[in-house]
Structure 1
Amino acid sequence: MPDDSEKTEPQPADPLDQAFAAYLRSCDEGGIESREEFLAKYPELSSQLQELIDAADMIGSMTSAGPPKLGPSDSTPAITDGGAETIALHAPNAGESGEDPAATLPMAYRAEGDPGPTLPFDLGDYLLLEVIGRGGMGVVYLAKQTELDRLVAVKMIRSGMLAGEAEVKRFYTEAQAAARLHHPGIVSVHQFGRRAGHHFFSMEFVRGTDLQKKINGETLSVREAARYVRDVARAIQHAHEKGVLHRDLKPANVLINENDEVLVTDFGLAKHIDNESSITGSGDAIGTPHYMSPEQAGGQSDTAGPQSDVYALGAILFAALTGRPPIVADTVMQALVKVIHDPAPPVRSLRPDAPVDLETIVAKCLEKQQAKRYATAGELADELDAHLDGRPIQARPRSAAIKAWHWLEGVPLVGALTGRRVLHSSDQHRRFQAAMLLVLLLAPITAAGFATMWYQHKDKIPKNVRIAGGLEGGIYSTLSSALGARIDRQYGTFTEVVTSNGSLDNRRRLMNYQIDLAPMQASVINGDDLCVVAPLFYEVLYVLARRDSNVATMADLAGHRIAVGPEGSGSRTTADLVFDSLELDDQAVRREVLAWNDLATTEKNTDASADVAMICIGRGSPIVTGLLAGGKWRLVPVTEGVQIALQHPTLRPMSIDAADHPGIELPPGGIPTVGTTAFLAARDDTPGELVTAMLEALYENPAPCIGLIPRRRAAEWQGLAFHPAARKYYREAVPNLSQ
């Protein structure tokens, strides 16, 4: 019998034929709750009609085109997003192939050889146009919603009426999870429900491609990869805030529209954070093997949390940068075991031009333990934002020792001892294991010799030393040049002084292993991997105002143009802390970046002028002395020093004394301000011999800079996070302090 959506069956004249035709239509439409209810409508024909129905059942059991037995109705009230009537879908042919473009389309029972419905196909308010996606569970059609005259995507369960309970529940989990999310980075669900045994939902149609296809087709730029994943992380953070875990994030589920914007889709494995129930048991591995987290790969899906999605985001970023997932294997089982036990390779081993910051971010996302990853997808997005803006990230790169240990765990013997399952070891690992067994036979001698060589190599002064300076002609550059010259003379090294924008720039270069030591302000010294070599000198904040301006106190700064240091400089950092304490945002003051030497010659009310300058620099700076001597600038007192210091402990109240600037008339008691301390800093893995050599050069006469804090006073700063070699130096150089 042809599909009744394509043509109408002529009505038989015989009452029995009419009743049997009504029965077949009822089978298609799901409009009757039971066979007994249907037969009750034709009491005079019930016995004959029963025989026809039984015969039809028998024929249907031997062919793929027979009508199903009529049982309880599976039509249930549908859930929609705006009260629109839900589409009633007919049952598909149970024997229809999943490769048929019309795999889920409604089908009436038809004669042998009848091809059935084809696309485009009319489903009430929806006109299905073409197949645009196919997965293990569903088929997605491009459709036109005729009532609203818009293109949408309609997803239907691939197995139709044969779908099991778990499959149906998973399908509705996807629809319900996506429907409760409203974010520009998540594909919107319009309507979902069930009719005549068919489950479906309609959603936003996205023109474009997906991230997997983009990765396959081209090498993404570093910035493009970071931007895509940042936007996905923002969308996932919204989902987490609404109590929804995705649990199946992968590049194929990240759509990219025509405006190059990302949208997350496919919440088929989603789980509600506030609901302990799940569509899977705790022993199931849920997700896509190459992108699932270790806890999911180990069958502990019930313990999955926001950090499981963070792992997948890191894996997507890895793939976007390198063109392949972090874990690859020949079989699904191998992939699952590797996800649980094997660390991902460093990003830069596959893409050398990738920034260290991005490699660090990816490594933190891909930590095996959830607690070591970013706590939220929002934190990951903030880190990627910081990288894209050129700001320091919070995550720290893995030390060389940790990287070496992860490699050692790939040796079969070491993996067996540590509980890591090694499925396939490389030739390098096997050769290393053979050598290791030989070394173990000579353990005492080998261990002693290896340890001695390692510490000697680690602490040795390198042939080429790089020290950060600061702005050209500034005190940081002057100090670093003097120290470099002394090191070269004493140890025969080659020392290079690298100019920079100041403290923040120096810190970034130091942590990225671009330099070995750097002077910087106290406000930027933080993190476990950064150590103090020596306190250098005090820096005070000079707030200068033009004499013809109306700025007499800090309260008068609002509405004025203020010259501050460039991004990454200590002056800019200190000025921002002061603005924060005084609650002066970007709208209250306008920050200008001007060369300090230009302030003496720039006329007021020009495009390159400012009413106020905030310079954080060492006491007695010739730059400040020159500006004050020129007569165009005067000092503004910072009387709020205590308030600022309470909010920002790296700053403290200080005063500018007349002795700091000979020839400049200042009040006898000085002018109050705030200041900070400049330190010489290094990484915790900087060679100890280099640190000791720098300290000897620093305290060699004459002093390399004005206002250097004496060695004995520097040794009294016991609360600082000194480099181990520096702490040993001060203890031996000033022995009385340890008594």
Structure 2
Amino acid sequence: MPDELDKTEPPLVDPLDEAFAAYLRSCDEGGLETREAFLAKYPQLSGQLKELIDAADMIGQMTIGHGPTQGGVTPAVSETGAETVALHTPGPGESGDDPAVTLPMAHRAKGDPGPTLPFDLGDYLLLDVIGRGGMGVVYLAKQTELDRLVAVKMIRSGILAGEDEVRRFYTEAQAAARLHHPGIVSVHQFGRRAGHHFFSMEFVRGTDLQKKINGETLSVHDAARYVRDVARAIHHAHEKGVLHRDLKPANVLINENDEILVTDFGLAKHTDNDSSITGSGDAVGTPHYMAPEQASGKSDSASPQSDIYSLGAVLFAALTGRPPIVGDTVMQTLVKVVHDPAPPVRTLRRDAPIDLQTIVAKCLEKQPENRYASASHLADELNAFLEGRPIEARPRSVAMKAWHWFEGVPLVGALTGRRVLHSSDQHRRFQAAMLLMFLLTPIVAAGFLTVWHQRKDAIPSFIRIAGGLEGGVYSDLSSVLASRVARNHGTLTEVVSSNGSVDNRRRLLDYEIDLAPMQATVIDGDHLCVVAPLFYELLYVLVRSESNVTSLADLEGRRVAVGPQGSGSRTTAELIFDSLQLDDDAVHREVVDWQTLSSDGNQESEAGIDVAMICIGQGSPLVTRLMAERKWRLIPVTEGIQIALQHPTLRPMSIEASDHPGIELPATGIPTVGTTAFLAARDDSPGELVTAMLDALYEDPAPCYGLISRRHAAEWQGLAFHPAARRFYRESPQAKSPSR
């Protein structure tokens, strides 16, 4: 059953319809000898066929005798029976339509679209065919009454001429008749005689621009001069409210004096009374030379800029010998006119000046508003070029040229709405490369990310580790770690001295260093993370042995030695003062070198110092030495819980006698507060660097006193560990080294 549905029978042709159509074709082509001879070819249909032919003749006679007037023109029958029409342009409100059709042309020579020549058309004697178009035939004729040679244009389709053809024919005559300019062919008379629609115009001896282009390569000067003069003539037409809409080289005549005259206003539009013979949706003009708005079927919105586009196309052809847009078919050409930019003139003619290429490009802009504002402006630009003066137009930017080329890639054109029917080899290769890159992008990206992560996580060739105050525990620890990493991985390392925790934090965030030890009190922000907890730092509050200070409550009014700005000791001291509500006036903060507090230190530096608050690693040798000299004694910090509640980075701790051998301390220890020192890094620090530093940290022997073991470090919760450190601590501590 499906096979039967796929088989379609050819439509049946009525023999009578086929015979009548053959008769009409014979009439139009001039191949009809006599009616009797034609009827003899169809003996079985001769009766019915004769009735159809007689009816056609009757309709033609009625059309001639009672046709409506043309565009406000009243036919007058002469003494010879011929209709003549005086030149007249429609007045306001007058119609330009004429639905009349012509009778078949009589006495035609076989194969000729017009009557047998010479042919008497009233006071015109048709002598020779000098031009043929899609709708009309132009004859060389002698106007007998004035004894002059003229050109006579007639509709070539005879009785088959439709209403639109007749209307277009008279529109052309009316459009040209209202124009009086030395660059426009003058129309003398139009009307209908012996059943033929016609109009007469001046006869131009010479050639046309298309023939000149075909026969020779025009000089740059001649091409610019011809189009300049055409632009001036078209500007006159625009001033009179007439758009040409079919400008092309064949419609530019060149007389014996090498002067141009514009002809063929068959598609003209009267802007003052909207007498266009086309409607929306019609593509009107010659495809190679029509503006994009005409090619897209918007002929009803044609403007003077549409003619300016065509002038640019004519100039392009005059310079290069071919139209700017060329397609294999009419439809393809129309689509290219709408979407594709014209190639630069210099790609086809290397000796073309840049200024002339710029003028052509401005005329051929796709958007009407980007073209010249008037044909007169275009003429002035061409005149400036001919006289060697600067032009106003500027070349397209490199970015715009690149974008237009990029839109020619079929895939890009589909995404941007530009139709690309036939792309160049370059565009196709570029698209193939694009698609290949698109397919390979995930693979390339994956490979790139893998390499990037590997390089990102690799150990740097040069490592900078922050220390602290010279001789302090931070500096000693950093020196040991730097030495071990350099030995284990063959990298260059450097220990950078600093004022302490706050200074280390700043340098780390500024990428001046790669890792740094610092107190928990300064580890904050989104870009810092913990590599390892190092050890506990205790607050040692030392007072002079002879002093009457016994607690923190006695600090008011005293001179207290604190660490330098940026040190952990200074930060911890300020937190204590804040908890005790001791402002700058209550406690005099003094910055001294801790070494000067010993008996062999600078006596002037320590003069007047009552109290020293040192936050340092548990079991600090500095504190042991100061207490061994018996110049200083420790006082307890009994407010530890209150301070810890206000500042969670501090917590109650105890100074144990075992931390300081040889120093008499209570067996129960001395209460104080303390914090934790951490090894910190940035969150983007290389993972291999972090792992290498952890290996060095937990290598025997311990790099510092009181180091928190790896096993205990792994138990810490709530810390923002570096990802590499978190992986390190998830592994078994025994895989690295014994716990301490």
TM-score by length of 2: 0.48
Decide which structure has the larger Cα Rg and report it. 2
